[in-house]
Amino acid sequence: MSNEPSSRDVIIYVASDSAGDTGEMVVRAAIAQFHPVYSEIRRYSFIQDESTVKRVVQQAKSEQAIILYTLVIPHLRSSILRLSEELGVVAVDLLGPLIGSLEQRIGRMSRHEPGLNHVLDADYFRKVEAVEFAVKYDDAKDTSGVCKADIVLVGVSRTSKTPLSMYLAHRKFKVANVPLVPEIKPPDELFSISNTKVIGLTIDTHYLNVIRKERLKALGLPDNASYAMPERIERELAYAKSIMKRIGCLVIDVSHRAVEETASLIMEHIK
């Protein structure tokens, strides 16, 4: 069996001389326009020298990957541009053209210092705290997070609960999410908190069927498992709807919505 990616698969390298958060967010926003499609994002953070740049480009060549880079150090940016052209690798410069335009408009050179958007101020620490919160209270691993959260997301599997939690965390909201499964009693905490901070996520049966089949394929499993069967999905959605109705929370249909669009609706509701 070939290890090469299929025509529907895409591998994207995010190369940065800082953490790479900006590049990954842009990639996720772009790939959402092609959902459902299997994509793999690999970060290469805190790149400091040209030997690392060379290794990243060569690896991307071997995997037919696309590179998106956010390098502010000029010689590293020049190096990745030159090497990608030599090896025929698609490489997209996210910051270079904008920095150049700003230098012309402002009339002076940029500082060329990586990571300046992560100045360690109170705002940054709030974001870090929110991300750590989202990871800790993902998928109801610890239901005590339901009472501590700013936002609680509920819904069946594959309704974007985890991606939404992380996106909202980067907007400094503490988010817990709870999967709704007919065989598992929902945590009591869901019914003791204000329903204004609970958001129900629902989805079209056919669309969820497609998403779950793609997920099973990505895991190397047969797509006829009960997890992806329409009858099972309809039963799960009906159960989730009954729980959301009992809570009396806002319900958002995430069918064909990008994570960013759903997050905007949630933030608008919370505010």
Question: What tens digit of pLDDT does each residue of 126-137 get?
Answer: 888 999 999 999
Is there a single domain that holds both residue 65 and residue 138?
no
Annotated binding site: 155-162
> Last residue of some domain: 58, 89, 118?
118
Q: Is residue 204 part of a domain?
A: yes
For residue 120, pLDDT beyond 90:
no
Q: Compare 150 and 116 and report the one with higher pLDDT.
A: 150
Residue 181 — very low, low, confident or very high, per pLDDT cuts 50/70/90?
Answer: very high
pLDDT of residue 182: 96
Task: Tell me the angle at which helices 122-136 and 161-169 cross, rounded to the nearest 10 degrees.
Answer: 160
CA distance 172 to 37: 29
Is there a single domain that holds both residue 230 and residue 166?
yes
Is there a single domain that holds both residue 263 and residue 144?
yes
CB 202, CB 159: distance < 8 Å: yes
pLDDT of residue 118: 57
The domain containing residue 51 runs over which residues?
10-118
Is there a single domain that holds both residue 254 and residue 218?
yes
Q: Is residue 261 part of a domain?
A: yes
Q: Is residue 258 part of a domain?
A: yes
The b/e string for 186-199 (b: 16+ C-beta within 10 A; e otherwise) is bbebbeeeebebbb
Q: Is residue 113 part of a domain?
A: yes
Taking only the tens place, the pLDDT of each residue in 37-64 is: 788 999 999 999 999 999 999 999 999 9
Number of domains the chain contains = 2
Annotated binding site for ADP: 155-162
CB 187, CB 143: distance < 8 Å: yes
Is there a single domain that holds both residue 258 and residue 126?
yes
pLDDT (average), residues 109-132 = 77
Q: Which CATH number covers residue 183?
A: 3.40.50
Is there a single domain that holds both residue 49 and residue 88?
yes
> Last residue of some domain: 66, 84, 118?
118
Q: Is residue 163 part of a domain?
A: yes
User: What residue spans of 121-160 are helical by DSSP H?
Assistant: 122-136, 145-148
> Last residue of some domain: 118, 152, 171?
118
